[in-house]
Amino acid sequence: MNRLHTLHVVPSLPKKLERLRDIAFNMHWTWDHDAIELFMRLDPEFWRDVKHNPVRMLSEISQERLEEVANDDAFLGHLDRTWKAFQEYDKERGWFKSKYPDQSKMSVAYFSAEFGLHECLPIYSGGLGLLAGDHLKAASDLNVPLVGIGLLYQRGYFRQYLNADGWQQEHYPTYDFYNMPLEMVRNGDDEPKQFTIPVGGREVTVFIWRVRVGRVDLYLLDTNVRTNHPEDREITQTLYGGDSEMRVRQEIVLGIGGIHALELLGINANIFHMNEGHSAFLALERIRRLMVNDKLTFSEAREAARAGQVFTTHTPVPAGIDQFGQDLIVKYFQNFWPQLGMDRAGFLGLGGADPHDQMSPFNMATLAINLASYTNGVSKLHAEVSRKMWHKMWPKIGLEEVPIHAITNGVHARSWISSEMSHLFDRHLGPTWQENPQDHDLWKRVKSISTEELWRTRERMRGRLISYARDHVRQQLERRGESRSTIERARDVLDMDTLTIGFARRFATYKRGTLLFSDPERLIKLVSDPERPVQIIIAGKAHPKDEPGKKMIRDIVHFARDEQIRRRIVFLEDYDVNVARHLVQGCDVWLNNPRPPMEASGTSGMKAAVNGVLNCSTFDGWWAEGYDPEIGWTIGHGEEYDDTEVQDKIESDLLYDILEKEIVPLFYNRDQGRVAREWTDMMKRMLEKTCPVFITTRMVSQYTREAYLPSYTRSTELAADQYSIAKNIGEWEKKVTSHWHQVSVAGVESDRAVRHNVGDRVHIKASIQLGSLAPEDVRVEIFQGVIGGDRQLEHAEGIAMELTGQAKEGIHLYEGSIDLQTSGMHGFAVRVLPYHEHQVNPHSTGLVVWEP
């Protein structure tokens, strides 16, 4: 057909139920148990059938049922209570406005390739998206002025099912966005708001959709527009699908298109947070606009743009970073870099690509780091690993000085906590735990929860998981066309009273999904023990192109078919938010055994912890900060091995030992009332220590204090007076770069002795050749610290030296001192750094001269 006329038909809700639509179209309901129960009350079975999607439920439920509840006083009372609670939430002043009333003009745009808000909006694949979704929810709770920018994937990420051999198969359904909790953004004449951007020689039209997330809006870009070329309609078809060229096209739409969308929407964002490198092209677009609109040079525009840009890296391995061949970058940006006043070599260099080596890739993380004012890893350990990864960008400074910070991830507790545990906290901690979950004193009240009440609550949660898992397995077998007798046997898998271990994550080889299966005989003995059995529930997807990951899944499925253990080990297909929520709420132990230090953070263990689930994990990611022998177990202490087979053998043995000698005995050690008191006491200690720390309200408030507000202040300063400071920095950097070869440390003198006592002060003098530069262009430092076993400085710091005079033309004299506060071998060296009071950090130019 040449012309298709469309009609958007919405449900005819009785007037008394109109507020149901407003509640359904704001994702706040996903962390309001009362709202979820309201929709369940309409029809519990149908609620499950529509995948917990309230918009679809309201559009498909019978008119008769709607009329029935419209005359049900109890239902209307529930609706009124839920609506009033949301209205009160929406009107709250919130942490940000209370803490920073004078910073109302700060506006953050948070860019991410995926957002995991709920299973009814399946535009996420895993941890990165779920973290992004929790970031938005926490920003809403804190009332931080923030909007999200992402892509609307027509077919999302793949849905998983296993064939008869246990081999993963992928299915990509096409989603109906008109029956999901989002709305297309339209003009006053009801036409879609749209813009066009050039992508590979064609103009691509982009529509914008809005998702309300409490007090925060998420805007999703959509190229599946009828007037677009068929290839361009595919840009927003699948998440992480297609080849490298498709990824470049997606990231152009996300980064550059996202800036266009903000302008069209009239959102004057001044902080741009790149959640991973997928959106880093936004920095180039911002530079281009400053050059065009404000007539700045590239270096001036770069400084002005960089001041307001924040980058978070999520991967500790190079393979996890998007890198593109130079041919692709040239194809898609050869008409772009002239607008920046750059040539091919200069442009490729922004992404760390060597223009003289065709095989040298353009790295999106390098681009983001180069153009951000603040870069962070997602745990303390990950920041250390990241500094090692990116040390090559600052080869002349110490590892500890690489400007990559640490903001440890968290989880949005109210989205992941079970209703049972939430009600328990309401009773014993008070309702303020939801409003201020960072309050350490508040979490000390968990000690007042009776051991019996906490244990019985956890038993109910486990029972709900077992019921869910049985039903899930039955549906899997039905889809696979198994016999009726096989399907019926699913009713007796797992046991309500057995120690339950959960393992769910992406099946990448470094996550070692089969580590627990390394010694089959030992595992069989564990799960089949007649007195103290163990059962294991597993879920997770392998990337469609990850054959080793798929093989791990098949091996587990084959192993679990053994008749003597088939009731004790189950694999739940199609891991998504719903499966994850049941698992983290219902397990007794959460197992996580990545190969250290390859786990950046690992938030699933945090989600389990807030539900009272104890963690057993390798010493990696967040667990390297959260672990305490009083609250959980660690498999090793983060040792690194050259031989991964040796490592796997050692750590699998450790895991079995922990299970056999510690976890199993502790769980089954019961009092006369069949309560595991010591286990429950460990739960209380764990809740008290982890809940106020590993949550997204702490995380987002930390981003606000350490990244957003300082970047906003600096960005505002650089933009003032027609970017006069940005222009000054540009001129200064050009001067410093041109004359840096003239800088040297001409001489160093000190009163150091062969031996010193603790408390001594060592005085140091230095003669510095500055050539054409002035003293105000540099900072001369004593770089001092303790000498480690490798004869390198550890825990070192730079101490500024004072200018005391001039020896002769170009030679300046500096003095300083260091205080020896600890015993041992100490060392120091004199260095010179470029200095400007408004530069992004002391190492932004990458220039440094050391004492020869």
pLDDT digits (tens, 9 = 90+) for 117-153: 999 999 999 899 999 999 999 999 999 999 999 999 9
In whole angstroms, what is the distance from residue 796 CA to residue 54 CA?
A: 56
Per DSSP, helices labelled H in 632-747 are 644-658, 664-667, 677-690, 696-703, 709-739
Using the predicted structure, report yes or no on whether residue 238 has a pLDDT greater than 90: yes
Among 349, 368, 352, residue whose Cα is nearest residue 279: 368
What is the b/e burial string over 695-705, where b = at least 16 CB atoms within 10 angstroms of the residue's CB?
bbbbbbbbbbe
How does strand 499-504 pair with strand 405-406? Answer: unpaired
Q: Report whether pLDDT(657) > 60.
A: yes
Among the listed residues 827, 825, 820, 809, the one whose alpha carbon sits nearest the alpha carbon of residue 748: 827
What is the pLDDT at residue 695? Answer: 96
Q: What angle do CA 135, 139, 143 make, to 5 degrees?
A: 175
Q: Does position 378 have pLDDT exceeding 60, yes or no? A: yes
Q: Are 65 and 11 in contact (CB under 8 A)?
A: no
3-state secondary structure of 579: helix
Question: Which tokens sit at 347?
Answer: 């442009």
The pLDDT tens digits for 244-280 are: 999 999 999 999 999 999 999 999 999 999 999 999 9
pLDDT at 319: 78
Over residues 808-822, mean pLDDT: 91
Beta carbons within 8 Å of 91's beta carbon, 6+ residues apart = none
Q: Report d(CA 170, CA 172) in Å as an integer.
A: 7
Listed in sequence order, the residues at least 6 apart from 112 whose beta carbon sits closer than 8 Å to its beta carbon are 128, 129, 132, 148, 149, 150, 275, 276, 278, 279
The pLDDT value recorded for residue 2 is 62
Residues 223, 260 contacting (CB under 8 angstroms): no
Mean pLDDT calculated for residue range 540-544: 95
> From the CB of residue 102, how many other CB atoms can be counted at a distance below 10 Å?
6
Q: Tell whether the torsion through CA atoms of 56, 57, 63 and 67 is positive or negative.
A: negative
Token digits of residue 43: 């029809």
Residue 806 has pLDDT above 60, yes or no: yes
C-alpha triplet 303, 307, 312: angle, nearest 5°: 120
Token readout for 30 is 């996903």
Max Cα separation, the chain?
96
Is residue 128 within 8 Å of 112, Cβ to Cβ?
yes
Which position has the token pair 């071998």?
825
pLDDT at 398: 86
Mean pLDDT of 444-464: 97
Instruction: Report the distance separating Cα 778 and Cα 400, nearest Å.
Output: 21
Residue 320 confidence (pLDDT): 83
pLDDT reading at 213 higher than 80: yes
Tens-digit pLDDT profile for residues 479-521: 998 899 889 988 899 999 999 999 999 999 999 999 999 999 9
How far is CA 18 from each of CA 24, 25, 214, 283, rounded to the nearest angstrom? 10, 12, 18, 43
pTM of the model: 0.96
Bond preceding residue 692 cis, omega within 30 of 0: no
Over residues 665-697, the pLDDT tens digits come to 999 999 999 999 999 999 999 999 999 999 999
Among 1-10, 225-234, 532-541, 601-610, where is mean pLDDT lowest? 1-10
pLDDT digits (tens, 9 = 90+) for 66-118: 999 999 999 999 999 999 999 999 999 999 999 999 999 999 999 999 999 99
Give the percent of the chain with pLDDT over 70. Answer: 99
* Distances in whole angstroms, Cα of residue 243 to Cα of each of 113, 247, 333, 607, 682: 16, 7, 18, 33, 48
Short-list 286, 265, 282, 341, CA closest to 723: 286
How many residues make up the chain in this entry? 852
For the segment 629-650, the average pLDDT, to the nearest whole number, is 95
Predicted local confidence at residue 13, as pLDDT: 92
The first and second tokens of residue 13, run together, are 């809700």
User: How many other C-beta atoms lie within 10 A of the C-beta of residue 305?
Assistant: 27
For range 410-439, the mean pLDDT: 93
DSSP secondary structure, 492-560, as one string: GSS-TTSEEEEEES---GGG-TTGGGSSHHHHHHHHT-SSS-EEEEEE----TT-HHHHHHHHHHHHHH
Q: Which of 303-312, 433-442, 447-456, 596-605 has the lowest mean pLDDT?
A: 433-442
pLDDT at 1 over 60: no
Does the pLDDT of residue 799 top 90, yes or no?
Answer: yes
Q: Which residue would you say has higher pLDDT here, 346 or 188?
A: 346
- Does the pLDDT of residue 28 top 80, yes or no? yes
CA–centroid distance for 660 within its chain: 34
483: amino acid identity, one letter = S
Q: How confident is the model at residue 11 (pLDDT cuts 50, 70, 90)?
A: low
pLDDT of residue 8: 63
> 636-640 — which CB contacts under 8 Å span 24+ positions?
636/596, 638/381, 638/596, 638/597, 639/596, 640/596, 640/597
**Residue 10: per-residue pLDDT:** 65
Confidence of residue 189 (pLDDT cuts 50, 70, 90): confident
